[in-house]
Amino acid sequence: MFAEPSAKTADLLQRMRDFFDRYIYPNEARHHEEMAAFRRAGNPWQLSPLIEELKPIAREAGLWNMFLPHEHRGVPGISNLDYAPLCELMGRVSWSGQVFNCSAPDTGNMETIERYGTEAQKDEWLEPLLAGRIRSGFLMTEPAVASSDATNIQCSIVRDGDHYLINGRKWFSSGAGSPDCKIYIVMGKTDPDAPRHAQQSMVLVPRDTAGVKVVRHLSVFGYDDAPHGHMEVLLENVRVPVSNMLLGEGRGFEIAQGRLGPGRIHHCMRSIGAAERALEMMVDRLQARIAFGKPLAAQSVWHERIAESRCMIDQARLLTLNAAWKMDTVGNKEARAEIAMIKVVAPNMSCKVVDWAIQAHGAAGVSQDFWLAEAYAHQRTVRIVDGPDEVHRNAIAKLELAKRR
């Protein structure tokens, strides 16, 4: 492949693979059992004992905070291209990112505070996030409006002396179910009369502020994704100091643009990891099961699907690496076409490959005994989160049309 990992990434990747073999794969069942026990006891919104146990081991091993694109107060930076294979590996087990302090939405939130926060905001919120002591939420989407068009966001942020008064209802706020989720980045309107893209702002809202209420969790194909969760959050007369504003009033879109590029590519990298694992499982199952006198793998329809999966995964990976390289070399804005393309290609590819792997497993594929049903539920959401397919296709088409105008 033309984009071989750098020496730094190759070393990190080998150490991460060893960590997965020693601590992640052997503990998948334990994680499920621990969360199931919490559910049976009536409260799954508790810290995962396994993840808390593994975090210090990962940190000690130097496998910690590997996502920041440049150095910050001693945390070494890593380019998007270098991060790609590491993030891909984390896509193989949905909760593994938390072990390395590299999970969404924290990575996007930390990067946002690092890029746009004041030194005081960094001291108060970025440091404990980088240390893995707390987690964070990103509250943009609202139940009342089509939130794929972020200009629709209605949450109001009104200046009142030295404070902002915030009122709004958010949902699908990922991570807000976790008891260590202590800070939200909230998007809302500071000036409804300003030009369309200058109405919105982003403000830091501590979870324990009066008026913040986590109303309920939203399931994903029946999964609660506890303890992380996707929550509905009501903000009722919430007051925060004006110093909690990020970058400045009316600059929410500017931050969203900067934040969503890396967030999107991380989703795609993880989707490739999920597809790769699904293909391995598909191949193993097809070779192990005998039907009509021969292994399922001997049926030509499965040759077609295996070959197609390999082609699709490698195509998506190369496109993703290209987008990562462009982000590193010309910036997120200039790489917007490439980011939009992978955001369409990677999750559609992973949905297809995981779907074939489910089919290869028969009934077992949709059950809790295999990772595939959970993987499909998650991969299907990636076609919606951070902009649905159609919005990204529109963006790509507009750029193509403009070239020939």
Ligand X SMILES: Cc1cc2nc3c(=O)[nH]c(=O)nc-3n(C[C@H](O)[C@H](O)[C@H](O)COP(=O)(O)OP(=O)(O)OC[C@H]3O[C@@H](n4cnc5c(N)ncnc54)[C@H](O)[C@@H]3O)c2cc1C
Q: Which of 61, 129, 83 is nearest to 270 (CA)?
A: 83
Of the two residues 121 and 173, which places its CB atom closer to ligand X in the complex? 173
Query: Is there binding between residue 151 and ligand X (CB under 6 A)?
Result: no
Q: Which stretch binds ligand X (CB under 6 A): 109-117, 123-131, 168-176, 304-312?
A: 168-176
Binders of ligand X among residues 79 to 118 (CB under 6 A) are 105
Q: Is 394 a binder of ligand X (CB under 6 A)?
A: yes
CA dist list (Å): 391 to 51, 149, 326 = 35, 9, 21
Closest CB to ligand X among residues 176, 279: 176
DSSP character for 6? P
Nearest to ligand X of 207, 317 (CB atom): 207
- Contact string (CB under 6 A) for ligand X, positions 219-258, x = contact: -x---------x----------------------------
How would you classify the pairing of strands 181-189 and 135-139? parallel
Distance of CA 34 to CAs 41, 52, 219, 244, 374, Å? 11, 12, 19, 37, 17
Taking contact as CB under 6 A, which single stretch among the options 64-72, 161-169, 347-355, 384-392 is the one that binds ligand X?
A: 384-392
Quick one: which of 27, 174, 200, 244 contacts ligand X (CB under 6 A)?
174
Nearest to 205 by CA among 114, 121, 145, 148: 121
- Least distance from ligand X to the Cβ atom of residue 391, Å: 5
The whole-angstrom separation of Cα 327 and Cα 354 is 28
Three-class secondary structure of residue 137 per DSSP? strand
Which one, 15 or 393, has the nearer CB to ligand X?
A: 393
Q: Which conformational region is residue 159 in: left (phi greater than 0), alpha (psi within -120 to 50 degrees), or beta?
A: beta
| Closer Cβ to ligand X, 52 or 390, answer by number | 390
Residue in the block written with tokens 């996030």: 129
Helix (H) or strand (E) run with residue 174 in it: strand 163-174
Q: Segment contacting ligand X (CB under 6 A): 7-15, 28-36, 85-93, 169-177? A: 169-177
For ligand X, the binding residue among 107, 121, 199, 381 (CB under 6 A) is 381
Q: Which 39-68 positions form the footprint of ligand X (CB under 6 A)?
A: none
Return the residue of 173, 200, 350, 379 that touches ligand X, per CB under 6 A: 173
Contact criterion met (CB below 8 Å) for 168 and 156: yes
List interacting residues with ligand X (CB under 6 A): 105, 138-141, 146-148, 172-174, 220, 230, 381, 384-388, 390-391, 394
